[in-house]
Amino acid sequence: MAITFEELKAIAEGTDLKFFCDQENQILLFGGLGKGGIYNLIVKLIEEGEAIYLRIPYLAVVPADHPNLAKALLMLMEENDRVKVGRFCYDQNDGEIYLDWFIPLEDSTLTSQQLGRCLKSLMVLADEVGVRLKHLLETGEDLPDERRIEGMLRRLLSGGLSEEAEVRLRRLFDFVTSTENNEEDEPKG
């Protein structure tokens, strides 16, 4: 079921996220500020309104002769395997690393809640991986502590949480790290 740009704009307005609408080019532009800087998320209709394309351009620009390009591409492939929403891409023509996603509509439509969830998920993912990618390109080493649940908990604990919430998260963090350490100590069968 195809939708029009006006319908996409109305769905986006229901997300309560601020965006810029380029009516002439029929593009919606969402912005976000994260740990790694400012990110722009482009949303546009494709396939004659039967799909929505989302893209966060220029997470990094990595020339083909960069000494850590292979490590960066390997890290991005691991992320592509791990995540459900989002796909990291590398344009070998200009070295751009970007994050994109395609939402087929086919015989249904999209709710504001679904679009909002996709937008937020992509922005958080871009920020998390963008920070790791920048560090890896500069040093040749990944930030393993920033991955998965441990990194998420660490970021939450460094924010302004209530004392009670922080205590509960610290207990959860300790439990997760102790469980992970115990699994590493167990002999493999």
Token representation of residue 120: 């937020």
Please state, for a pLDDT cut of 90, what percent of the chain lies above it. Answer: 52
Write the pLDDT tens digit of every residue in 35-94: 888 899 999 999 988 999 999 999 999 999 999 999 999 999 999 998 888 999 999 999
* Domain segments of the chain as ranges: 5-143, 147-184
Q: Which residue has the tokens 């601020």?
A: 18
Q: What was the pLDDT predicted at 143?
A: 79
Q: What was the pLDDT predicted at 104?
A: 92
- CB of 91 closer than 8 Å to CB of 59: no
Edge-to-edge strands of the sheet including 37-46? 19-22, 27-34, 37-46, 51-61, 96-104, 87-91
Q: What was the pLDDT predicted at 158?
A: 65
Q: Which fold has domain 5-143?
A: Yope Regulator; Chain: A, (3.30.1460)
Q: Is the pLDDT of residue 152 over 70?
A: no
User: Mutual orientation of helices 148-157 and 163-185 as an angle, nearest 10°?
Assistant: 150
- For residue 19, which phi and psi values (nearest 5 degrees)? -150, 160
What's the CA gap between 157 and 133, in Å, rounded?
A: 22
154 pLDDT band (50/70/90 cuts)? low
Poorest-pLDDT segment among 2-6, 43-47, 63-67, 162-166:
162-166
